[in-house]
Chain A
Amino acid sequence: MHDIATNFINLDAITILYLFGVGFVGGLVSGFIGSGGAFVLTPGMMSLGVPGLMAVASNMCHKFPKALVGAMKRFKYGQVDVKLGLVLGVSAEAGVLYGAGIQEKIKATFGDAGSNLYVSVAFVVILATVGGFVLYDAWKTYRSGNANTEEKAGKLAMWIQSINIPGTMVYFKSINARVSILFTIPLGFATGMMAATIAVGGFVGVPAMIYVLGAPSLMASATELVIAFVMGLGGSLKYALSGMVDIRLAMIILAGSLFGIQLGAIGTTYVKPFMIKVVMGVIMVIVLFSRGLMVPVYLSQLGLIETLGEGTVKLLKTASFAIMIFALLLGAFIVLRAMWQGRKAERLQHASGALEHGKI
């Protein structure tokens, strides 16, 4: 009944190390920006020969335990708005179920190539629009010299906060205002749909919390971990009901990502808030090119364009893979560098403080 069971890949030491490594860097990024490990993990698994849908399912099954560990860690730092996370998470769950249903229909109708194409196109469209905007906003903040000042809600968020729809208003501590759940429901739903499609709901959820609801970047990225847990749990169950989760892949990635998410979460306590947007925007825009290169390959497999030569397919796959690795490493580099500088500054401040008080 489930032909997917025949699609389990063989695991050798190299594959395990690769998944562990990708998991670690993915976890590092997730711990920092609240999401985003999956944009590398899903294509990472696909590059090993795992079908798109199984890659999404296995990724989701590593995501919810990872998000749980990350959310608990960042809760200790006072960065999590549990109520907002749960409210968005519940509607995200509905989005996940709807998105997963679409995915299954596409796979049944067009096969693996169709499913892969759909995932890649969704990646390109979302990363181009949202990633471009986030990066532009981070660049604007950097250029304006306001990187150190506290973030303020934008015009859209102020307008949303000003609308009072009786009976639907809920107070959220991260926003420090009452917002109608009629606004949060579609945001959560969109986040869930993205999670079911490209396995990275946070690329919609985090910017939505920042720009539409007016939450600070640090709290938005931490709260995303609650959403990721809620929808990841439901989504995993949904996929597991059809036997699509490769638990070996999920747990090996989890092995690396739990090291990463702890480190990424610690990193958020050292950096300026706009760094969240920098890391998120940079990674999204680079990965967009990686996935974009694969679109012609899947189009060709489906016979929608002229069949590509073997050499061309190989070249596109290699380039896509290389760009993805670059995005991954660059994201990790920015996080670690920001963290390193933050730690250095703190040590210096501590030392000068001790000197001032005559302790040394």
Chain B
Amino acid sequence: MAQSNVKKKPVGKMLIMGLISIALYALLLAKQDDVNSIFARGGWYAFLPIITAFVFSFFHGSFTGDFWTVLGVEAARKKKEVK
């Protein structure tokens, strides 16, 4: 499907995801008192930490994956499926 002849490093995607991650963390820490008081209410508010975790993992997970790829740290070639 995708062309695999030239391995292009996902620098642009990494930067975008990295910036979104930083923004999310900045927001969380800047508003930590409000966040603590709302998230610790329990009951239906329990979904807030769960949703937060999913959102952070999506953006930050994508960023960290690309981060190592851009640095050239990738899985062993022998274990990869040969096309």
Contact = CB atoms under 8 A, between A and B. Distances in A.
B52 A255 contact: no
A248 B28 contact: yes
Contacts of B56: 65, 251, 254-255
B46 A241 contact: yes
B40 A258 contact: no
Interface residues of B, number: 40
Given A73-B65, A346-B76, A243 B39 contact: yes
A76 B42 CA distance: 37
Interface string A1-28: 1101100100100000000000000000
Contacts of A1: 42
A11 B29 contact: yes
Tell me the interface secondary structure of chain A in the complex: helix
Contact of A240 (B46, B73, B77): B46
B30 to A, nearest CB: 11
B57 A258 contact: yes
A269 B76 contact: yes
Contacts of A190: none
Contacts of B57: 65-66, 68-69, 254, 258
B65 to A, nearest CB: 5
A258 B64 contact: yes
Contacts of B54: 65
Interface in A191-249: 233, 236-237, 240-248
Nearest to A261: B64
A355 B59 CA distance: 42
B42 A241 contact: yes
Tell which of B47, B50, B80 has the most Cβ of chain A within 10 Å: B50
Given A245-B49, A247-B52, A263-B73, A269 B39 contact: no
Contacts of A252: 25
Tell which of B25, B49, B63 has the most Cβ of chain A within 10 Å: B49
A15 to B, nearest CB: 11
A65 B73 contact: no
Contacts of A76: 75
A237 B50 contact: yes
B28 to A, nearest CB: 6
Nearest to A5: B40
A77 interface: yes
Nearest to B63: A258
A244 B41 CA distance: 9
Interface string A319-338: 00000000000000000000
Given A8-B36, A350-B77, A243 B53 contact: no
A101 interface: no
Nearest to A256: B64
Given A2-B42, A245-B39, A248-B28, A269 B75 contact: yes
Interface in B21-65: 21, 25, 28-29, 32, 35-37, 39-43, 45-50, 52-54, 56-57, 60-61, 63-65
Given A8-B36, A65-B54, 12 more contacts: A73-B65, A240-B47, A243-B46, A247-B28, A251-B28, A251-B56, A258-B60, A258-B63, A261-B64, A262-B68, A346-B76, A346-B78
Interface of B: 21, 25, 28-29, 32, 35-37, 39-43, 45-50, 52-54, 56-57, 60-61, 63-65, 67-68, 73-81
Interface of A: 1-2, 4-5, 8, 11, 61-62, 64-66, 68-69, 73, 76-78, 233, 236-237, 240-248, 250-252, 254-255, 258-259, 261-263, 266, 269-270, 342-343, 346, 350
